[in-house]
Amino acid sequence: MKRRSLLLSSIAVWGQKKFTDPAPPKVAAVSGAKAAAKANAEVTRHKKPAALRKDAVTEDWASFLGPRHNGVSRETRLNKRFPSSGPPLVWEMTKGTGYASPAIAGDQLVFLYRRGNQEVVDCLHPETGDRYWQHTYSTSFEDRYGYNNGPRSSPVIDGDRVYVVGAEGVLHCLHLASGQVLWRRQLRDEFKVPQDFFGVASTPLVEGEVLIVNVGAPGGPCVIGLDKRTGQMRWGAGAEWGGSYASPIPAVIHGKRRVFVFAGGESQPPTGGLIMLDPVTGAVDFTFPWRSKSYESVNASCPVIVDNYVFISASYRTGGAMLEITPDFKHKVVWTAPEFGLHFNTPIHKDGYLYGFDGRNEPDASLACVEVKTGKVAWRTSLEWKEVFQAGGQQREQMMSLYRGNLLQVDGRYLVLGELGHLMWMELTPAGFKEGSRAWLFAARETWSLPVLSRGLLYVVQHSKDVLQNKSPRLLCYDLRE
């Protein structure tokens, strides 16, 4: 077994193509004890959270899209009524640039952002914002379109380790308790991947003993499986598509574990699509091309698995496609829906229907409900309301909407975070929608990250300046405990 393991760590096979690990990392032995949480000067505390109800169901949120990689939380006993000012704010922390969401396991929250010429990994106490440890490393990444020079990929916590990927493809495996660097890889340099439009954005996936990364190397590998303990490459898969902004999603298909990677970043001509593979060996079951014909586009919405079906979607006049996975692990197209093209948010499935925000830009975005069996749009809305606010010493009003929002299914309803900082409870069914409590948390554009819920506390990331409160980007913790 040892000889086979060494072989897998250096060579991987996909079809007839072999991939060799370009730079196996050096691995450090764990030496640090758990750091003590200390007062964080960058945190402002507002209100102690309410006590958890004894019968409340709670969960960790250790990776992007949550415990089941689908934007669904099983937490209960949540407050579904809050004033227009929002739920109680527990604490807030100023941050630099970036679009990452935090990851939470137990009493540790890990957050990745950029400040100055450094990317920062912060480990905080979820209820107080006190800091356990901080790890920084240099970066010179520049967003070619001028949006934001910070990291896009969210941290992944797995047991006693946390994995973080910066905008330039620097991958760290850190000891969760102490912040010690256990191993490090420079994926962009090692695999000779040119900088994409907005840098590296896909969040890795831990599947068993393998860390799966959509690296997108020219000529392959498109996807790599690293030994999560050593960082050595166990396998490489795919030779045709670059790295996307979507994250790998695991599932059980016909009784077997599989991983779906929706690949495709900057390329000329634009190429990309879905890869289904075996997470243990990297063997590819099938590929399905699906990508906008527009050069300035990427695949960014994560696959959604419904039993033995998988839904993928892309913006830029592309739309969605539903595939059925046959028992021999091939696929057939069930339907396509040009009118359901999700830009970067991932739809939520419930009881045979998909709910998600269709649209490429703010003005053309809408919330839609689509039937899984047929692809038929059950309903669509561009929910609007009048917002009254103070600006420049004067009272003003403006029509607002959720635009390209994000959905979180929880406690029988949906939490919706709008693109301009609005938070809303909604009831969504095939028959329509019903609006619940709504608050304007902050007046900031680019609110594009899925909120994170753990132990009744909601974490929202403000990515740009709040133009009404004159507050810089922040990580905010709200109390949703009943």
Largest CA distance in the chain: 73
pLDDT in tens, 235-269: 999 998 999 999 999 999 999 999 999 999 999 99
Indicate if the alpha-carbon torsion angle 11, 12, 14, 15 is positive or negative: positive
Q: Cα–chain-centroid distance for residue 233?
A: 23
Identify the residue whose tokens are 């840098």. 199
pLDDT (tens digit, 9 = 90+) per residue, 143-202? Answer: 888 889 999 999 999 999 999 999 999 999 999 999 999 999 999 999 999 998 989 999
10 SS3 class? helix
> How confident is the model over 319-346, as a mean pLDDT?
97
SS3 9: helix
Average confidence (pLDDT) over 122-133 = 98
Q: 358-388 burial by CB neighbour count: b if 16+ within 10 A, else e?
A: bbbeeeebbbbbbbbeebebbeeeebeeebe
Domain-embedded: residue 457: yes
Domain hosting 420: range is 46-99+382-482
According to DSSP, residue 398 is labeled E
Band of the pLDDT at 363, cuts 50, 70, 90?
Answer: confident
Q: What is the DSSP letter of 25?
A: P
Total tally of structural domains belonging to the chain: 1
Q: 423-448 pLDDT, tens per residue? A: 999 999 999 999 999 999 999 999 99
Weakest-pLDDT range from 127-136, 277-286, 383-392? 383-392
Residue at 117 is within a domain = no
How many whole angstroms separate alpha carbon 64 and alpha carbon 466? Answer: 25
* Closest CA relative to residue 343, chosen from 299, 378, 295, 291: 299
Residue 465 belongs to some domain of the structure:
yes
- Classify residue 340 by its DSSP letter: -
Q: Kindly state whether residue 88 falls inside one of the protein's structural domains.
A: yes
Q: Mean pLDDT throughout 69-94?
A: 97
Q: Is residue 201 part of a domain?
A: no
How many Cα atoms are found within 13 Å in the side-chain-facing hemisphere of 201?
A: 27
Tell me the C-alpha distance between 163 and 210, whole Å: 12
- The mean pLDDT value for 327-339 works out to 97
Does 69 fall in a domain?
A: yes
Is 264:272 a contact under the CB 8 Å cutoff? yes
* pTM of the model as a whole: 0.95
Q: Are 10 and 18 in contact (CB under 8 A)?
A: no
Three-state secondary-structure class, residue 5: helix
Residue 371 and residue 394 in contact, taking contact as beta carbons nearer than 8 Å: no
4 pLDDT band, cuts 50/70/90, is: very low
Check pLDDT > 80 for residue 6: no
Mean pLDDT, rounded, for 343-371: 95
In sequence order, what are the residues at sequence separation of 6 or more whose Cβ sits closer than 8 angstroms to the Cβ of residue 30? 160, 175, 180, 182
Average pLDDT taken over every residue of the chain: 94
State the average pLDDT over residues 461-472: 96
Q: Is residue 416 part of a domain?
A: yes
